[in-house]
A and B are shown apart, each in its own frame.
Chain A
Amino acid sequence: DAGVIQSPRHEVTEMGQEVTLRCKPISGHDYLFWYRQTMMRGLELLIYFNNNVPIDDSGMPEDRFSAKMPNASFSTLKIQPSEPRDSAVYFCASSFQGLDSGNTIYFGEGSWLTVV
């Protein structure tokens, strides 16, 4: 079975540019999570969706960050404009029936973002 698929795997961009990260969750999963991981702050939940609807975006750091999920098989995380402090690994993850069912979440391979 295909896991969570993310693209791009690596991106280097200049400060001020727009960055779009993409995610395809595992087929049949109804929850999708966007995480950011840095050495300083560890894993941080940015936003999560249930059945394509954003449920909690309290972790989105600023208005420069936005996320969409137009259908069950695709989500994007956009940073506009990007700043050097946005440099991190961005993970997309998905699960079936969320965490209240005891189900685990499955992570994609991550998108390594460097803003110079």
Chain B
Amino acid sequence: GQNIDQPTEMTATEGAIVQINCTYQTSGFNGLFWYQQHAGEAPTFLSYNVLDGLEEKGRFSSFLSRSKGYSYLLLKELQMKDSASYLCAVKDSNYQLIWGAGTKLIIKP
């Protein structure tokens, strides 16, 4: 079967750094997405990784290791507005998106 694992919930402090992990077991791999979803809103695109390594975009970075079936999203200089759910999604061999259940990130002052 296809499976994506993310922690259910994480808590971090404003101004700090947090790393959200995602491990996957899918039938094939054609890329990995990270989406942010604020409560009551739609998911919005954050990052896309298809090759191993780190992709940096401002305060957010995403890392991929295909051999380990592992990715993480790194958020720096946390702000209160970063409180949201973060969804990991993998494209399988049929280019279908397999979604994780999401990680709810709570930022405390």
Note all chain B residues with C-beta closer than 8 A to A105: 45, 97
Within 50-92 of A, Cβ neighbours of B (below 8 Å) are at 56, 91
Docked CA distance A111–B87 (Å): 19
From the candidates B30, B42, B50, B100, name the one contacting A42 in the complex (CB within 8 A).
B100
Report yes or no: A45 in contact with B97, Cβ–Cβ below 8 A.
yes
- Contacts A42-B101, A43-B99, A45-B97 given; indicate if A102 touches B42 (C-beta within 8 A): no
Would you call the interface of chain A mostly helix, strand, loop, or mixed?
mixed
Interface membership of A25, Cβ < 8 A: no
Docked CA distance A32–B45 (Å): 16
Task: Report the nearest B residue to A43, measured CB to CB.
Answer: B99
Report yes or no: A108 in contact with B42, Cβ–Cβ below 8 A.
yes
Note all chain A residues with C-beta closer than 8 A to B48: 102, 104
Name the interface size band of chain B: 10 to 19
Docked CA distance A57–B101 (Å): 21
A65 to chain B, nearest CB (A): 19
A108 to chain B, nearest CB (A): 6
Task: Report the nearest A residue to B50, measured CB to CB.
Answer: A102
Note all chain B residues with C-beta closer than 8 A to A106: 45
Task: Report the nearest B residue to A56, measured CB to CB.
Answer: B96
Note all chain A residues with C-beta closer than 8 A to B99: 42-43
Note all chain A residues with C-beta closer than 8 A to B91: 99
Docked CA distance A98–B42 (Å): 19
Within 2-22 of B, Cβ neighbours of A (below 8 Å) are at none
Docked CA distance A56–B33 (Å): 21
B31 to chain A, nearest CB (A): 6
- Contacts A43-B99, A45-B97 given; indicate if A104 touches B33 (C-beta within 8 A): yes
Binding site for B on A (CB under 8 A): 42-43, 45, 56, 91, 98-100, 102, 104-110
Binding site for A on B (CB under 8 A): 30-31, 33, 41-45, 48, 50, 87, 91, 95-97, 99-102
| Sampled A-B contacts (9; CB under 8 Å) | A42-B99, A45-B97, A56-B96, A91-B42, A91-B43, A99-B30, A99-B91, A100-B30, A102-B48
